[in-house]
Amino acid sequence: MPEPLTDTTLAPGTQASVTEVTAAKDPSKGSGPGKPRSLWGDAWFELRHRPLFWVSAVLLVLLLAIAAFPGLFTDAHPRDGDLTNHFLTKPQLSHFFQADWFGYDGQGRSIYARVIYGTRASILVGVGVTAAVTIFGGLLGMLAGYFGGWIDSIISRIVDIFFGLPFLLGSMVILNAFAERKVYVVIAALAFLGWTTIARVMRSSVITAKQADYVTAARALGAGTNRILFRHVLPNALAPTIVVATIALGAYISAEATLSYLGLGLADPTISWGIDISDAKDAIRDNPHVMLFPAGMLSLTVFAFITLGDAVRDALDPKLR
Amino acid sequence: MTTIEKTADDAVREGAGDDGTPLLEVRDLHVEFHTRDGVAKAVNGVNYSVRAGETLAVLGESGSGKSVTAQAIMGILDMPPGRIPQGQILFRGEDMLTMAGEERRKIRGRKIAMIFQDALSALNPVLSVGYQLGEMFRVHEGLSKKDAKAKAIELMDRVRIPAAKERVSDYPHQFSGGMRQRIMIAMAMALEPDLIIADEPTTALDVTVQAQVMDLLAELQREYHMGLILITHDLGVVADVADKIAVMYAGRIVETAPVHELYKRPAHPYTRGLLDSIPRLDRKGQELYAIKGLPPNLLKTPSGCAFNPRCPKAEDICRTDVPALVQVTEQDGTELPGRGSACHFWKETIHG
Amino acid sequence: MGRYVARRLLQMIPVFIGTTLLIFLMVHVLPGDPIRAMWGEKAADPAQVASLRHEFGLDQPLWKQYIDYMADLFQGDFGKTFGGRPVSEEMGMAFPVTLRLAAVALTIEIIVGIGLGAWAGLRAGKAVDTGVLVFTLIVISMPVFVLGYLAQFLFADELGWLPPNVQDSMNLQQLLLPGFVLAMLSMAYVARLTRTTFAENLRADYMRTALAKGLPRRRIIGVHLLRNSLIPVITFLGTDVGALVGGAVVTEGIFNVQGVGNLLFKALGQREGSTIVGVVTVFVLVILLINLLVDLLYAVLDPRIRYA
């Protein structure tokens, strides 16, 4: 168990300035004796005052709810098409939460229902890839950063090799080989190529944390490798990794949609925004709504994740304040 | 009782002497910073003046407002969050705070120059020192790139940087700390300004190099007959070079005095505390004195005298009334020229 | 300097071999038989399949295939397509097109990205800053294909300002729209990075010194701030080539640009290994060389970097 993130472990920079010259110019940091703030405490203070943070947080909660319980949000069925009655019907924007709210697509299916039911695949891919790369890339990055030497050399060279391969291009090649592309296949393919980013971030932040004075102090006091790694280095190296992972999550969702759009990602019967956008491209001139809603929903989801990660990063980075 | 005592302004202005207007005069300067935790009052009514050829040392702890005052004079305060709600900064009798930006810019560097504490971060890391020195001539005097470079080499020779010609194209990180500070000094001296503000010019240096740099600064000042404001927290640096001292605490001047008198007979408990906390050989073996407590939080300075929570002599009046900077006199009432103290009990402190 | 370049070039060799091996394995080990796939749903003649397999060397052990491939590669031979044309010939037609598209994109990226970022960074915390931040977040959130259709719909179909498709890749006006779409994502990142470094460096001590020297604002920003702030931006531009390449596949599809992206996409559809490996190999080489170039440029901009 990592210990609670107190300011002694996390805020070497923010504490030291109590009596420094900066106290006069910038009392926001360590303004006076008696009320030091921790890094996370400070970050939370910053976050609470950011409208973008709240926008993204609310969006995310909503999206997660839709992904978990799509049936709560619509009665319409996403796969039932009625070509005779509903072929390319325009949206009825006043019919809130009705099947025809966003209109019907070229196969007479409710676009609203498809948008709702498509959420799960995107969120699953995003969360799945992020979890996989964070565990795998994070572990390798930590090992490389902490132990250095030949372990670092080997891991770094492997990272270089994978990094040389453009992410989208590589996943196209991999997924092209699979006839049946289920969600877990897409997750595996994206994670296989995506772990290097996290590994690099983790490696450099572990190296930074390792060189911090409090780690030297802990070592001087006789702390063992495990203790130093898990109680001192890891908690401090985690912040940048979490931020990058959150932003990457949005990028993975975007990548999945792009691949599905190219016909190389998820395939029917899975419901995915990317597939719907791909299907819609021939109809766009006369019926832009067929593309507008899945594309809008997709962008909104990516926006929520990227904005959240972004807000957290800004809040964690005292340099930007 | 207060009626016979002169106000702070009078005490300071008298110290400025009688040969016309001083080079620089700061009058009742206030600076505050607006932060998310509230308004930090960094400078609360500072008055001081410098004549040509004179060295004023401004002494104080971190956060006493000494650097902020200097930045306000220089016009390089970050505004916002900084704000100057009140006060005047007169350069040759003209208030710089009311000047147009362009007018003020022309004074910066040419008439008033500044030397910063940490030359490594104060010099631009990606430009050669020759470029940075030559820039002064190119911008203020319109010299060509080639002439400016020749001038830069001259300057580097002037501050005794060995092999100036070969090193003019080097970058700041390629010089030692002492050499970098010489480059800072050269940059400030470039256009032979009337006034130089040196903000802790030797704090970041080794002790052996400190003396060399201070000597160089003092020598150049004499040569060009410049005014010098020396900002420091180091009483040792001050004694050799300064003519007069202003001690700052929590954004106010708490004591002013000609340099040697201050050392002999401090008139403020804070100054006394500072002097007592210097390690001395003749007191070897005794415990070193330290002023108890921490500098005040500028967001909520203590009521009354800001020093009262740390003062060994504090009484009730110190917690309620802000003491004004008053003329210090001998016991028989003769005025001590240039001396002022902002303590309710200055008499006890200086004579007791 | 010369030694540093030589050492970096030597270091590139294992990475190049590793990456090409990776792509080679990805194409050949993963399930799916390209020769069999030529017949689609129809039944294939086993003899014909075997002879084709032999012709393309697919009956050899994998390690031998790779070594043969690399040996040919060093003589400039990228193998043949299923149609019998040399892959190098196909790529020779497609690469200049993509290069032109990328150049247009990169120009837009640099000019608009740095411009927007500098604008926001100099007014950090003000409305302009927030506006640019939200704009970049929206751009980053939109996948390239959404952006592409949106731009095509808006600027070509509705407004009619620019042609919707690229018939002639030498025509700059036709490349403008796809170049713009391809640039958008990276442009947003460049803008954000520039904004951050600008805002950060504005508070640097040397900026205060520059102000104290009495330099005009133009010079403080144009010389002292810009030189320091461009360093991370240039590094980013170098590492971003990969993303540009990925985006090109989608963009070229939408705007019918006959570039490498299209070539690759067609090859993927036919599972034509030689073209896929060839295109990706050239990309990897380009990316590695650009990274080297950026490293060298980095040292020109930042004298603190020493070649050791």
Tell me: the pLDDT tens digits for B243-255? 899 999 988 999 9
- Closest CB to C141 among A52, A161, A299: A299
Residue of chain A whose Cα is closest to the Cα of B65: A24
- Closest CB to C208 among B76, B140, B187: B76
Q: How close is the nearest chain C Cα to the Cα of A259, in Å?
A: 9
Q: How close is the nearest chain A Cα to the Cα of B175, in Å?
A: 26
Q: Which domains does chain C have, with CATH numbers?
A: 14-87 (no CATH), 94-305 (1.10.3720.10)
Among A312-316, B165-169, C50-54, name the one with the lowest average pLDDT. Answer: C50-54
Cross-strand partners of A104: A110
pLDDT, position C36 = 63
B19 touches chain A (CB under 8 A): no
- Across A51-71, average pLDDT: 90
Q: How close is the nearest chain A Cα to the Cα of C253, in Å?
A: 9
- Closest CB to A31 among B37, B62, B81: B37
pLDDT, position A15 = 31
**Alpha-carbon gap, residue C218 to C210, rounded angstroms:** 11
Q: Which of A54, A161, A171 has the most C C-beta neighbours within 10 Å, making it the best mutation to test the interface with C?
A: A161
- Residue A31 banded pLDDT, cuts 50, 70, 90: very low
User: Are A161 and C137 inside 8 Å of each other by CB?
Assistant: no
| ipTM given for this complex | 0.83
Cross-strand partners of B326: B341
C104 neighbors C177 (Cβ within 8 angstroms): no
B215 neighbors B242 (Cβ within 8 angstroms): no
For Cα atoms A98, A102, A104, give the angle at the middle one, nearest 5 degrees.
Answer: 95
pLDDT, position C169 = 66
Q: Which chains touch A (3 or more CB pairs under 8 A)?
A: B, C
Q: Which stretches of chain B are assigned E, i.e. beta strand? A: 24-35, 38-50, 55-59, 82-91, 94-95, 112-115, 195-199, 227-232, 244-249, 252-258, 326-329, 335-341
- Residue A244 banded pLDDT, cuts 50, 70, 90: confident
Average pLDDT of the residues of chain C: 83
Q: How close is the nearest chain C Cα to the Cα of B116, in Å?
A: 8
pLDDT, position C187 = 92
Among A17-31, A199-213, C184-198, C283-297, name the one with the lowest average pLDDT. Answer: A17-31
Q: Which chains touch C (3 or more CB pairs under 8 A)?
A: A, B
C-chain CB neighbours of A189 within 8 Å are none
Which is more confident, A64 or C7?
A: A64
Residue of chain C whose Cα is closest to the Cα of B78: C203
pLDDT, position B331 = 82
- Across A212-239, average pLDDT: 82
Nearest to B256 by CA among B324, B316, B169: B324
Q: In the predicted model, is pLDDT for residue A135 greater than 90?
A: yes
- Across B96-105, average pLDDT: 87
**Alpha-carbon gap, residue A120 to A133, rounded angstroms:** 20
B-chain CB neighbours of C211 within 8 Å are 75-76, 108
User: Are B139 and C215 inside 8 Å of each other by CB?
Assistant: yes
C204 touches chain B (CB under 8 A): yes
Looking only at the bridges linking them, the beta strands covering B244-249 and B55-59 are parallel
Q: In the predicted model, is pLDDT for residue A18 greater than 90?
A: no
- Across C186-212, average pLDDT: 89
Superfamily covering domain A39-75+101-320:
MetI-like (1.10.3720.10)
| Domain coordinates in residue numbering, chain A | 39-75+101-320
User: Are A284 and C153 inside 8 Å of each other by CB?
Assistant: yes
**Alpha-carbon gap, residue B16 to C105, rounded angstroms:** 65
pLDDT digits (tens, 9 = 90+) for C63-94: 888 888 888 888 878 777 777 788 888 888 88
- Closest CB to A27 among B65, B67, B298: B298
pLDDT digits (tens, 9 = 90+) for C157-184: 777 777 777 777 667 778 888 999 999 9
Q: How close is the nearest chain C Cα to the Cα of A164, in Å?
A: 6
Write down the pTM of the prediction: 0.80
- Across C131-136, average pLDDT: 90
- Closest CB to C245 among A166, A295, A299: A166
A91 neighbors A100 (Cβ within 8 angstroms): yes
Residue of chain C whose Cα is closest to the Cα of B197: C212
- Closest CB to C212 among B78, B108, B121: B108
pLDDT, position A130 = 94
Write down the H helix ranges in chain A. 7-10, 12-15, 22-25, 39-48, 51-68, 83-86, 111-147, 149-163, 167-176, 183-210, 213-220, 225-227, 234-261, 273-280, 289-316
Q: Which chains touch B (3 or more CB pairs under 8 A)?
A: A, C
The number of C-beta contacts closer than 8 angstroms across A and C is 136
User: Are C31 and A165 inside 8 Å of each other by CB?
Assistant: no
Among A23-27, A58-62, B160-164, name the one with the lowest average pLDDT. Answer: A23-27
Q: How close is the nearest chain C Cα to the Cα of A226, in Å?
A: 33
CB crowding B56-66: b at 16 or more within 10 Å, else e: bbbbbbbbbbb
User: CA gyration radius for chain A?
Assistant: 24
A321 touches chain B (CB under 8 A): no
B-chain CB neighbours of A315 within 8 Å are none
Which is more confident, A239 or A206?
A: A206
Q: How close is the nearest chain A Cα to the Cα of C287, in Å?
A: 7
- Across A173-202, average pLDDT: 88
Sheet architecture: strand order including B252-258: B112-115, B195-199, B227-232, B55-59, B244-249, B252-258, B335-341, B326-329
- Residue B19 banded pLDDT, cuts 50, 70, 90: low
Q: In the predicted model, is pLDDT for residue C289 greater than 90?
A: no
Q: In the predicted model, is pLDDT for residue A64 greater than 90?
A: yes
- Closest CB to B139 among C208, C216, C231: C216
Q: In the predicted model, is pLDDT for residue A20 greater than 60?
A: no
Q: In the predicted model, is pLDDT for residue A1 greater than 50?
A: no
Q: In the predicted model, is pLDDT for residue A4 greater than 70?
A: no
C-chain CB neighbours of B126 within 8 Å are 227-228, 231, 301-304
pLDDT, position A318 = 56
pLDDT, position A60 = 92
**Alpha-carbon gap, residue B326 to B340, rounded angstroms:** 5
pLDDT digits (tens, 9 = 90+) for B188-240: 988 889 999 998 888 877 888 888 888 888 888 888 889 999 998 878 778 87
Cross-strand partners of B34: B39
Share of chain A above pLDDT 70, in %: 84
- Across C109-120, average pLDDT: 93
User: Are C212 and B76 inside 8 Å of each other by CB?
Assistant: yes
Share of chain B above pLDDT 70, in %: 94
DSSP string, A130-161: HHHHHHHHHHHHHHHHHH-HHHHHHHHHHHHH
Q: How close is the nearest chain B Cα to the Cα of C3, in Å?
A: 22
- Closest CB to B122 among C206, C214, C303: C206
Q: Which domains does chain B have, with CATH numbers?
A: 3-106+217-351 (3.40.50.300), 112-192 (no CATH)
Average pLDDT of the residues of chain B: 84
Average pLDDT of the residues of chain A: 79
- Closest CB to B126 among C209, C211, C303: C303
- Across C263-268, average pLDDT: 86
Residue of chain C whose Cα is closest to the Cα of A251: C141
User: Are B68 and A25 inside 8 Å of each other by CB?
Assistant: yes
The number of C-beta contacts closer than 8 angstroms across A and B is 56
275-314 in chain B: CB under 8 A from chain A: 294-295, 297-300
- What residues contact C254, with CB distance under 8 A and at least 6 apart? C145, C148, C149, C152, C178, C181
User: Are A161 and C134 inside 8 Å of each other by CB?
Assistant: no
- Residue C40 banded pLDDT, cuts 50, 70, 90: low
DSSP assignment letter at C156: I
Which is more confident, A320 or C291?
A: C291
A-chain CB neighbours of B38 within 8 Å are 27
